[in-house]
Amino acid sequence: MRALLSKEINSFFASVTGYLVIAIFLLTNGLFLWVFDGSFNIFQSGFADLSPFFELAPWVFIFLIPAITMRSFSEEKKQGTMEILLTRPLSTHKIVLGKYLGAFCLVLMALLPTLLYIWTINNLGDPAGNYDVGATLGSYIGLVFLGAVYTAIGIFSSVITKNQIVAFIIGVFLCFLIYFGFQGISNFELFGSEIYALEYLGISFHYQSISRGVVDTRNLVYFLSLIILFLGLTHFKLQKRN
């Protein structure tokens, strides 16, 4: 599996894909946080905290991560190398994990440079260092788990089609649906009352909960369950193909 993982990471950086993904993520966040006028601009908010970044990042991830994962299995199918991959001396679950971890590593690499934002916020505070460290740490943990879930969803989207564009669209739709869909449905009135319980099924509720700085095991179990679910569906799809 290690060889497959290395192959996946190297394939991203053998072309401009890996560099482009990281550059787009950093440029998009940088422009909205520091340059463009609006609610995400930290200078205009008047507060030295990174909450605008953690509100913006899930939106960027919804489009960015499916763009990373859309080629994982779709390209193998298109090039006719899927059969070769499946006949390698690797179990199906190791192939899925290798593809998944390769894409997830690229997501982590895109997140790593944003740690400089902490240093910037630390110096913008009055006095310096006057910001909520717990909330920032919790938000980063939530963002890592969010990226992990989106990656699992993207991998699953890639395995059900050989068209990369279709895989991208399916990935974006599923990420959007699971993040915002349940929260939106919970605001609809049903028989005169709001169905708040549905909000608990959405990623948004658990991500926002962690972002407050309280790392609840229930939220972690929720994220891990989604990752296992979509990787399990990917494994099932590959097994069915065999």
Strand partners of residue 194:
189
With a cut of 60, say whether residue 17 has pLDDT above it. yes
pTM: 0.89
Distance CA 1, CA 43 (A): 46
pLDDT digits over 25-58, tens only? 999 998 998 888 878 887 777 677 788 889 899 9
Distance CA 194, CA 155 (A): 34
What is the sign, positive or negative, of the torsion defined by CA atoms of 144, 20, 76, 59? Answer: positive
The token duo for 107 is 């997501």
Strand partners of residue 193:
190
In terms of average pLDDT, the best of 107-121, 148-162, 202-216 is: 148-162
Q: What is the mean pLDDT of residues 197-223?
A: 83
Instruction: Name the residue range of residue 172's domain.
Output: 2-241
Q: Which residue has the higher pLDDT, 91 or 56?
A: 56
Q: Are 146 and 203 in contact (CB under 8 A)?
A: yes
- Nearest residue to 154 via CA among 140, 173, 139, 141: 173
Which pLDDT does position 233 carry in this prediction?
94
Tally of domains in the chain: 1
Average pLDDT of the chain? Answer: 83
Distance CA 88, CA 82 (A): 10
pLDDT digits over 184-193, tens only? 666 655 544 4
The token duo for 69 is 């994962």
